[in-house]
Chain A
Amino acid sequence: MAVETEATIEERTQAFRDHVTSGGKVEMTDWMPDEYRRSVLKFIEMHANSEIMGVLPEREWINRAPSVRRKLALTSKVQDEVGHGQLLYRLAEDLGKPREQMLEDLMAGRTKFHNVFHYPTHTWADVGIIAWLVDAAAILSQKALLTCSYAPYARTMQKICWEESFHIKHGYDIVLSMMNGTEEQRAMVQEALDRWWGPLMQFHGPPTPVEKDKDLAWRIKSKGNEQLRQEFLSMYVPRILDLGLSIPDPNLRYDEETGRWQYTEPSWEELRSVVTGHGPRSQERLAFRRLNYDQGEWVRQAVMTAS
């Protein structure tokens, strides 16, 4: 960005704002207003946290996967997500926050991770529903980040979206296998869907007026919460019904006139409570993250001293 050296901070900030709102990109070494840096950092940090917390419900099933191939696939998915965490924490570090500080803040509950990773998993069907539908909801948000004004993040999202598409397909495969199975297995899938529907509907967050969404104003993300939820419903309601499953919301219907999905208002109170550490598994998962962090300390030490 060409910026006059004489310009005041306000002028530079306005020029920067004009640059990003007209589709301009920002690189790590470019000047950026502190508010932009903080907003991008917070967004990426929360994403990174979600990647490494998101593997915890899935790792519980590695030892219980029904076949060796499923075990390998699930292990690969877990490895992918941790890898995404690595890539994203690197981006955040380049924006100025040390990795140790981010992990400390996560484990102390000072920073957040996605609502869906605060819930327990009950059966193998939960693994299928998570990989299929939770990852599908996530990839919609992530695709909206491919045009992010912070270019290093947008580039990283290309790789992440590519890998997530394997997760969704594997999840769909798990669900289809079970739907082709016994009555009991089909019931397990329905029960898992019933459990996850609420958190899925909360996943993209409450509808926020576009003008109040700073991340939209800075072009960090390109789509609002409600738009993403509508896209999710348009893509996945037909696919869910196609399998003979039913969706646990009697008010869910597509309104031809408005071109929008109507649904029972998700519990925003539950969302707020869950992401602030009061979900059914929030504290247990954070404690497990802490345990592993502490137990891995000797590895980090060994790596540093051996080199």
Chain B
Amino acid sequence: MDMHVYEVFQQQKEGGALVHSGNIQAPDDRLAIHYARELYGRRGESVRLWVIPRDHVLELTDPDLLKPPFDRSYRSVEGYRLRDKLASVRAAREGS
């Protein structure tokens, strides 16, 4: 058997995010769980651990996909400036 790398995600309190905390090396899933507990849970600092074979992690870092150089302001709160439009509506209403 070969050793495999497992990525460990830790939830520190109920309802919290599962945050990546590091990785371990183990020959199989059963020992991976055991090692993860020893390294990331021996002080009661976790309520849940996700132990995931690194081979199963798909990574995307391509900036062309993640940070495309186009204007995406139409998708965001910041893309809409309402103050002047609202003021203009109010002015029109008061003027009528």
A307 adjacent to B42 (CB under 8 Å): no
A155 adjacent to B22 (CB under 8 Å): yes
A159 adjacent to B22 (CB under 8 Å): yes
Mostly helix, strand, loop or mixed at chain B's interface? Answer: mixed
Q: Is A22 an interface residue (CB 8 A)?
A: no
Q: Is A29 an interface residue (CB 8 A)?
A: yes
B39 touches which of A87, A99, A155 (Cβ 8 Å): A87
A-B contact count (CB 8 A): 40
Q: Is B61 an interface residue (CB 8 A)?
A: yes
Mostly helix, strand, loop or mixed at chain A's interface? Answer: helix
CA distance A94 to B5 in the complex (A): 10
CB contacts under 8 Å to A, within B6-32, are 20-25, 27-28, 30-31
Residues in A neighbouring B23, C-beta threshold 8 A: 90, 94
> Interface readout for A1-24 with B: 1 if CB under 8 Å, 0 if not?
010000000000000000000000
Residues in A neighbouring B20, C-beta threshold 8 A: 155
A307 adjacent to B22 (CB under 8 Å): no
Q: Is B63 an interface residue (CB 8 A)?
A: yes
B31 adjacent to A303 (CB under 8 Å): yes
Number of interface residues of B (CB under 8 A): 20
CA distance A176 to B43 in the complex (A): 25
Given contacts A2-B63, A29-B59, A87-B39, contact A307 B25 (CB under 8 A): no
Number of interface residues of A (CB under 8 A): 20
Q: Is B1 an interface residue (CB 8 A)?
A: yes
CA distance A156 to B10 in the complex (A): 13
CA distance A295 to B59 in the complex (A): 40
Residues in B neighbouring A90, C-beta threshold 8 A: 5, 22-25
Smallest CB-CB separation from B25: which chain A residue?
Answer: A90
B21 touches which of A83, A93, A99, A159 (Cβ 8 Å): A159
CA distance A156 to B24 in the complex (A): 12
CB contacts under 8 Å to A, within B28-67, are 28, 30-31, 38-39, 42-43, 59, 61, 63
Q: Is A86 an interface residue (CB 8 A)?
A: yes
Residues in B neighbouring A163, C-beta threshold 8 A: 43
A304 adjacent to B27 (CB under 8 Å): yes
CB contacts under 8 Å to B, within A27-55, are 29-30
CB contacts under 8 Å to B, within A251-307, are 303-305, 307
Smallest CB-CB separation from B61: which chain A residue?
Answer: A29
Question: Smallest distance from the beta carbon of A66 to chain B beta carbons, Å?
Answer: 24
Q: Which 8 A-B pairs have the closest CB atoms?
A: A307-B28, A307-B27, A307-B1, A2-B63, A304-B1, A83-B39, A304-B27, A90-B23
Supply 20 further A-B pairs (C-beta < 8 A) apart from A83-B42, A155-B20, A304-B1: A2-B63, A29-B61, A30-B61, A79-B42, A83-B38, A83-B39, A87-B22, A90-B25, A93-B25, A94-B5, A94-B23, A155-B21, A156-B22, A159-B21, A159-B22, A303-B27, A304-B3, A307-B1, A307-B28, A307-B30
